[in-house]
Structure formats: C-alpha cells, structure tokens
C-alpha cells in the first residue's frame, strides 16, 4: 500500500458541516469549497435557522463568500432547518417547495453547541415528522441523551436504545440520518435499522479514540460532541465506513475561536475542514482499504439523499505538508485539528 502515491476520486461531498455565520463565512466557506462539492449546512446559528426564509437567506450569505475561482457547479450548499417544538407541517411543506432545503435537524435541547432551542417534547414534533415522512424530507439526528445522569460516553447508546426506536415506531418510513455516529452501539443500531436509516461518520472519529483527549495532558482541540469513544468503537466505525453503504462522510467540522476552546470551560467541536479527506485517507490506508474511499466520501451520501452522482474528479497525492498552527476566523483565529503536525496526504486544488 505504501507504494500508492496518488488517488483519483469523484468530487467528495460533506453531509454535515458548520459554517457558522458572518463575520466567519469569509474564512469557513473557502475551506469547504476547496475540498467539497455538495455540503450540507447545519442550522445551529444564534438564533437557529428555523424557517425556510432564514435558510434561503443563509444560503445567499454563504454563496457570496465562495472564492471566484470555484465554479458554480463545483460548490453547492444544501440547506437544513433546525427542528423545534413549534416547527409546523406548513413550514415543512414550504421547505420542500423551496428546492434548497433537504433535511431538518433534531437537536435534543441542551445536547450540544447552540441546542438550547432544540426539542424538549417529542410529542410536539410528531406533526412535523409525519409531514417530513410524507414529503421525503430527511430527519437528521444528533443522537445523544440529554439526561445528565447518563455517563457522557454512554449518551449516544442511551439515545439509540430509547428515543430513536420511539421515533421510528411512530414514523416507520421517515428517512433518517443518524449524524456523526461515534459508538459501536450507535453503528449497530444503524446496521440493523431499515433501508430508510443511514449515518454519517466524521473524519476525526475514524482517526482517533478518546485517548487523544488526554495525550500528555488535556487536549481541548479533540473535544467534540458526541465525544471521542474507545478504540473498539473506532474500529467498528471504520468497518462500517469501508463496508456498509449506509455510512458516509459528514465531517462535523465545527470551528470555534481559539479563546473559546482554550479556556476554563471550552466549547465542543473540532475544526477539520482543512484536511477532512486527508484524514479519511489516513484512516482507510491504515487498514489497507483505500479502495473504499470513493464510496465513503463521494458516492453513498449523494445516493441516500437522492442527488445526482458526483461529477468531476479530485486527486490526492502522498505529499507531506505541515498543518498550520491556526487559520483566520473572523477577527480571531481557529486552531485546526493536527495543528503543527505533518500530514502524509494532500488533496490537490482543482485544476
């Protein structure tokens, strides 16, 4: 395998990305546009994107920040809405009719960054879920229990043992993506569920287990939610990523400014947009499965979303490069994953 020097794949997509909002789009959009074609945009702004009108306005703000050398067909933001207790079936219909909103994201209230507006009462969201099931709008799930008495490393398992079966029993044909699956239990749930249930996996959860959080001291830049899990969990994710068509890349690249990561109570989220594909290559190469790369990053997600197959190709080369210590982020900076380290692979810019 070490003799592989170059890999050519169809343009990759990212089915889970946090751009944040102004004044950060100037810096976050170019990172994503440099690597990905279709990018599913998470709606957890402050305030969250709860209406189609807000999603379309956000889409315009993102498009204004696409670098001039990126062709229109090479970068396509796919919008999502933030599900609340008050999301109406009418809003779901409006979202569908817009042609730009593909999914609605369920954050259990209090589960992660900017989730305070999230769902508190599952009974209240049933009319919206039933409308989504009818219209083919996807439900994206941040699958973690918000019961603070549940161990932080077991909150994903708890969610997939309780809440998710309940949702699917009420809406058996709802198309769902279990976002950023991190545990063997979560992955097994998706494997056993019907063909309407898929999952994303991040690049950093494929490369790292929870030891990364504590290597040589506490490492806040490896802190994200759901939190990194054990090595057996990582091995299970890798196996699903290379072998199972239900699993595809969603980077969950989630920038926070340096001061909000390196402080007494640091925010959850890893910034990986600068090298997401390279991280997947590293993880797959380590188990001798570079053959699965294109399926995982370029094909399966689009297929599940009913989007056209990717067009255009990208080339990765085995070419060591030093990951910068930080990147600009509005008037602040963001420290990327692997800052200061040497990466083995590099995604070449588009020709």
CB closest to Zn ion, residue no: 252
* Closest separation in Å from C-beta 16 to Zn ion: 6
Per the document, the length of the chain is 351
Point out the catalytic residue in the list 252, 259, 291, 331: 252
Nearer to Zn ion, 144 or 294 (CB): 144
Nearer to Zn ion, 7 or 279 (CB): 279
* Closest separation in Å from C-beta 226 to Zn ion: 10
Q: Are 337 and 269 in contact, with CB atoms under 8 Å apart?
A: no
* Closest separation in Å from C-beta 61 to Zn ion: 19
* Closest separation in Å from C-beta 224 to Zn ion: 8
d(CA 176, CA 141) in angstroms, rounded, equals 7
d(CA 80, CA 297) in angstroms, rounded, equals 20
Q: Are 109 and 116 in contact, with CB atoms under 8 Å apart?
A: yes
Would you call 23 helix, strand, or coil by DSSP? coil
* Closest separation in Å from C-beta 17 to Zn ion: 8
Q: Among this protein's residues, is 295 annotated catalytic?
A: no
Which residue is associated with the tokens 């790369």? 293
Nearer to Zn ion, 152 or 286 (CB): 152
Question: Could you tell me which of 214, 191, 216, 212 has the C-alpha nearest to residue 201?
Answer: 191
H-type helices in the chain, by residue range?
Answer: 25-35, 52-64, 89-98, 122-135, 155-161, 163-170, 184-192, 203-207, 231-243, 258-261, 276-286, 293-294, 300-305
d(CA 161, CA 25) in angstroms, rounded, equals 37
Nearer to Zn ion, 271 or 345 (CB): 271
Nearer to Zn ion, 91 or 252 (CB): 252
d(CA 173, CA 342) in angstroms, rounded, equals 45
> Which residues would be at the binding site for Zn ion (CB under 5 A)?
252
Which residue is associated with the tokens 């920038």? 255
Q: Which residues are known catalytic residues? A: 252
């Amino acid at each position: 395998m070490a003799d592989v020097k170059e890999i050519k794949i169809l343009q990759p997509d990212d089915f889970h990305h946090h751009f944040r909002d102004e004044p950060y789009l100037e810096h976050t959009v170019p990172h994503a546009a440099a690597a990905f074609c279709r990018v599913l945009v998470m709606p957890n702004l402050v305030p969250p994107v709860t209406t189609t009108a807000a999603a379309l306005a956000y889409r315009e703000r993102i498009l204004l920040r696409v670098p001039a050398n990126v062709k229109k067909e090479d970068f396509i933001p796919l919008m999502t809405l933030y599900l609340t207790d008050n999301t109406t079936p009418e809003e779901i219909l409006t979202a569908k009719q817009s042609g730009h909103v593909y999914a609605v994201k369920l954050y259990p209230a209090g589960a992660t960054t900017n989730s305070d507006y999230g769902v508190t009462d599952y009974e209240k969201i049933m009319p919206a879920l039933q409308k989504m099931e009818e219209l083919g709008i996807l439900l994206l799930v941040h699958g973690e229990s918000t019961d603070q008495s549940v161990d932080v490393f077991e909150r994903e398992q708890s969610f997939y043992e309780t809440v998710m079966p309940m949702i699917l029993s009420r809406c058996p044909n709802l198309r769902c993506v279990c976002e950023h699956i991190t545990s063997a239990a979560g992955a097994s749930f998706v494997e056993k569920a019907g063909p309407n249930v898929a999952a994303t996996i991040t690049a950093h959860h494929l490369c790292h287990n929870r030891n990364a959080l504590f290597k040589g001291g506490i490492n806040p830049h490896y802190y994200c939610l759901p939190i990194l899990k054990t090595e057996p969990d990582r091995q299970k994710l890798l196996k699903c990523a290379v072998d199972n068509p239900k699993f595809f890349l969603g980077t969950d690249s989630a920038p926070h400014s340096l001061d909000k990561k390196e402080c007494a109570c640091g925010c959850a989220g890893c910034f990986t947009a600068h090298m997401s594909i390279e991280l997947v290559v590293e993880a797959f190469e380590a188990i001798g499965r570079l053959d699965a790369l294109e399926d995982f990053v370029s094909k399966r997600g689009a297929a599940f979303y009913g989007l056209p197959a990717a067009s255009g190709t990208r080339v990765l080369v085995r070419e060591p490069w030093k990951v910068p210590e930080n990147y600009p982020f509005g008037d602040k900076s963001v420290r990327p994953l692997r800052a200061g380290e040497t990466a083995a692979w590099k995604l070449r810019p588009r020709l």
